[in-house]
Amino acid sequence: MSDLVISGYKDKEEIDSPCISHVYNMDCLEFMKQLPDNYFDLAISDPPYGGGNDDGAYNRFGELFNKYKPKKDDGKKEKAINYSQGGIFAKYNDPAKKDVEDKLGRIEWDVAPKAEFFDELFRVSKNQVIWGGNYFPLPPTRCFLIWKKHVPENFSMAMCEYAWTSFAKNAKVFELPSTGIPFRFHPTQKPEALYAWVYKLLANKGDKLFDPMMGSQSSRVAAYKMGFDYYGCELCDDYFKQGVEKFDRECLGEVKAADGKVIKQMSLFD
Ligand SMILES: C[S@@+](CC[C@H](N)C(=O)[O-])C[C@H]1O[C@@H](n2cnc3c(N)ncnc32)[C@H](O)[C@@H]1O
């Protein structure tokens, strides 16, 4: 059983056997604020990079590199980036921007998190893996991870993804096509095999894992199948619901029928 008492979620699922798997439909910042320091052994995060920021690509890198920006014709610098003010949190909490939430509870989520997110993430976890770490002002690291996706060079998407990690180990590369992910419903859904590879490399038996922005819950499914205790958050109601259904189907053998009834799949030996 978990020793955590969490408030402020819209929905949740708490599985306690054979390992802890607790997930909450809520803002991860509100979740982390309720936790003691170093509660998790490993945080695996895949934050939005910021394609949905009002300021476009310029908002992705925080204020760190503003001084290098080209000046406009009128001699003024490009619009300054306000990293500390930006992020989904600001948008979501701003009543004037509530219209970004649609009927499914989908929000405009591709907005880079503000600095407070990283402060809290580093406070509540002993080690961190941050996918898309190249978009954020993180310290230098020896141990970065590359996911090589086997997409052709002339394809419109990136051939690989980068994860920043807090470990002092060798950098590693994992090769797995990004196509053909089963039960795909999330626009940036990562394969469970990728998370399983990360856990095998960087997690130890008995570790408590945390994904603050689970999306499709691939990180959760991999953790459960490998026997790790796991906690996760997802802000979007619809992704949360579909993620829970994916987990229930993949890990508990449960399928929801059209009338909402849960059908338990029988194993060959039942
Ligand atoms: C890049 S996606 C993660 C994809 C995930 N790795 C997967 O394999 O499906 C980021 C997710 O973070 C969620 N999100 C954004 N801001 C959040 C917040 N403040 N708290 C919790 N979840 C958030 C978004 O709704 C989105 O599903």
Phi-psi sector, 104: left (phi>0), alpha (psi -120 to 50), beta = alpha
Residue 98: other Cβ atoms inside 10 A: 11
Element (H or E) spanning 76, and its range?
none
What pLDDT score was predicted for residue 261? 77
Q: What confidence tens digit (pLDDT) does each residue in 193-221 have?
A: 999 999 999 999 999 999 999 999 999 99
Site to probe by mutation for ligand 1, drawn from 235, 238, 244, 245 as the one with most ligand atoms within 8 Å of Cβ, is 235
Q: What is the mean pLDDT of residues 134-157?
A: 90
Higher pLDDT, 244 or 178: 244
- Domains in the chain: ranges and CATH: 23-254 (3.40.50.150)
Which of ligand 1's atoms lies nearest the C-alpha of 236? 25
CA atoms within 13 A on the CB side of 179: 6
Please tell me the distance between residue 215's alpha carbon and the centre of ligand 1 in angstroms: 5
N- to C-terminal Cα separation, the chain: 28
Q: Write the residue with the smallest CA distance to atom 15 of ligand 1.
A: 109
Q: Residue 70 has what pLDDT? A: 59
Across 186-249, where does the E strand assignment appear? 208-211, 229-233
Structure tokens at 197: 């590879």
For the stretch 105-129, pLDDT in tens is 545 566 678 788 999 999 999 999 9
pLDDT at 7: 97
Q: Could you tell me the pTM of the whole model? A: 0.83
Whose structure tokens read 């796991």? 230
Q: Are 109 and 20 in contact (CB under 8 A)?
A: no
Phi, psi of 173 (to 5 degrees): -125, 135
Output 125 or 178, whichever has higher pLDDT: 125
pLDDT in tens, 75-99: 655 544 443 333 344 344 444 544 4
Find out whether 136 and 45 touch, Cβ atoms under 8 Å.
Answer: no
Lowest mean pLDDT among 170-174, 213-217, 252-256: 252-256
In angstroms, what is the C-alpha Rg of the chain?
19
